[in-house]
Chains A and B, each alone.
Chain A
Amino acid sequence: MDRFDEIWRNSFQQDEVKPESWNTPSPSVWNGIESELLNKKKRRFIFLLLFFGIFSLLAGAGLLYFNTFNYTSSKSEDIASGLEQIDQSIPMAGGETNISDPSPEINFRNENTEGSEYPAATEDSELENKPSHEEAEKNNEGLSYEVPGENFQSKGNLLVEKSKPSTIENQLDKESQKTTNPQLRKVDKVVKNNSNDSKSLLNSNSVETPEIFLFSDLQDDLPESKEQLATREITSQSVNQLPHLTKELLLLSPAILEHSLLDWEANTTAKSVSEIKPDPSRHWHLSIFSGASIWNQRVGSQYVNDLSAFDFHFSKNNMGFAGGIELGLTLNSRWEISSGLMYESIETTSGHNGELSFSKNEEDREDNSNKYDLNLATPFGFAATNFKLFRDGELSQETIQLLADFESRHQIKNLSIPLSFRVYLLQGEESPFNAGVKLGGNLNYLFSISNQLKNVDTHHDLISFQNDLAETDLSQNIRKFHLNTSAGAFVDYRVRPSLIARLEYTWLKGLTDVFNQEDYFTKIDRHLFSIGFQATLSEQ
């Protein structure tokens, strides 16, 4: 390297550089870097929020799908098991049915085969059980039944001809005819001598047993609890799915049916009630809600006092939309914990008055305007504003003093992560309504907040303002992250076993400042009214 190169290298490789105007970049360079850094932070935060939201949604959807599938399956199993129990309690032809727990303890005995007036269907049957009940022996009709009492014990089985599955339909027709057999009526007289409605139906040729009839008698005997009423519809549907033969047998033996239903009902009622009542076990649930959010800027007294001479007001039309999603966990029958994501979009206005001077001599000749740079006082700090006032007519050369009213609009978009503990106050098992209170807090992020000079009322006919030409910078002292506590109350209505409609009020009290500059500060309190739905996802 020659001397020439060395001079160049030494000149530009020195460690220390003396700052001079020519080697100092303009401030806009740092502004560009800064905005990129802030955007990076913002993007990272939004990404985290989105990730959390999407994860919650996917997890919720997955659990919901899984739960729905299981719920449907278990429901089908419940119905199937109910039908099975009915079938067991009403033995079918040709099969020996051991009547054992939990099926009804009904004892059918055909004590006298020869003298039996039981229809032909029973003629092929083998009668295994010998009479063992004295009262039954006295029953000269051959067929007797016992309604289990307190001291009842199962004593035997009933053998009835069993239809082959391949000929079930033909058999059904035969059985239908048998049902209308006069002999059968005779049996029925013995069996059900207190059911005139049954007899009249049996005397008819129809085997289609009206559902209303089938249960009307029984309903008088069933305990009138709401749980049982709730399951009656399920029972009715289940019975309607039975083959005609089974229906007839049910009709023939109302006591059997009664006990079958009572017993089955006891099982199904337990299940149904457990589904209707709040499940005391832990389970996840997903909620969506939306409603109105009312913001109240709690502006520091020092700030208000200092600006009171300018008629500063800071909360007007401060209502907006709120909506969100929450994933929760029921800890026990009383407590729930939930968290999620809430979005709020609020628009508020604030204002104050101030003096302006308008001079024709200083106006821009192109549009007859005076330009102003001033700081607007807002609940979110002082915002640097540029705007113009236009002269719409001829004025004197003298400077005009204006007492102007300034109105600023603030558009705020807030994302928050709520954390709530809910306590159920009502523990009613019968009512679909429940109510409770909630406590918690939110981590908030003002991801968008803007100030806009909306209007300057000059109270002068010839001097006007155009808000589309105003530029307002956001206060430099906005704190985007802020915290609040929350408390509220809610009322739930259980629409379905796994779905709750919720009406809720939440009061959110700001803990940290959204604006802070020396002695001036602003906190935000909110009132949130929302309706929503909560779906149970799964049991833990």
Chain B
Amino acid sequence: MTKEHKQDIGLVKKARKGSHKAFKQLYDKYQHQLFMVCLRYAKDKSQAEDFLQESFIKIFKGIDSFDPEKGFFEFWARKITINVCLENIRKKSLYTLNIAGVENIATVHEDALSMLSKNEMMEMIQEMPYGYKTVFNMYVIDGFSHKEIAAYMEISVGTSKSQLSKARNYLKNLLLERTITVKESHG
């Protein structure tokens, strides 16, 4: 058990007893990490803040159900946050499948991608339509399988795969545009 994990368990125990301070410490510790999850799924910062607030309220209200033996608090909180984001997207019918074709980019300079800051990468994700963004986030970053995505989004596995493919191409196009823009500005 890591020191971090022990510290989290201590805070969770205090929070369960109603310690306001413990709630605040947990929030301070994980706000950035969970906010990034929300930013990936949301269209903008404001919506991400709504998702984050709802997530933390769910986390704190359900803190009694957190079992330290089953995993880290961080993962448990992250899972709740992803669920809140997906629930909001589905509830508000934000998710629509993008059927328009995206030009397949054969080669992408991956070095250019790795040179991007997280903020820039986040901006690129946020620029994607909900359909691409959701499947991309779920599959590439959060590790869902196509089967899980299909079940959750109520689409077929094939659709999930095609949406992912289009999302990748969309991002590659964006990356290409950015690279060109950067080159032009330097040139």
Contacts and interface: CB of A to CB of B under 8 A. Distances in A.
A204 interface: no
Contacts of A393: none
B119 A20 contact: yes
What DSSP secondary structure best describes chain B's contact surface? helix
A34 B22 CA distance: 12
Interface string A123-160: 00000000000000000000000000000000000000
A37 B23 contact: yes
A8 B36 contact: no
A23 B35 contact: yes
B113 to A, nearest CB: 5
A356 to B, nearest CB: 36
Given A12-B118, A25-B49, 11 more contacts: A4-B168, A7-B110, A12-B121, A17-B33, A23-B36, A23-B39, A23-B119, A29-B52, A32-B53, A34-B24, A37-B57
What DSSP secondary structure best describes chain A's contact surface? helix
Nearest to B124: A8
Interface of B: 18, 20, 23-24, 27, 31-33, 35-36, 39-40, 45, 48-49, 52-53, 56-57, 60-61, 74, 108, 110, 113-114, 118-119, 121-122, 136, 140-141, 168, 171-172
Contact of A29 (B39, B53, B74): B53
Interface in A299-337: none
A7 B109 CA distance: 12
17 contacts: A1-B140, A4-B108, A5-B140, A7-B113, A7-B114, A9-B140, A11-B121, A19-B32, A22-B122, A23-B119, A25-B48, A29-B56, A32-B57, A33-B60, A34-B23, A37-B20, A37-B60
Contacts of A3: 110
A196 interface: no
Given A25-B49, A29-B52, A33-B27, A8 B121 contact: yes
Interface string A193-235: 0000000000000000000000000000000000000000000
Contact of A9 (B20, B122, B141): B141
A28 interface: yes
A466 B181 CA distance: 56
A30 B168 contact: no
Contact of A4 (B48, B52, B57, B172): B172
Contacts of A34: 20, 23-24
Nearest to B46: A26
A148 to B, nearest CB: 76
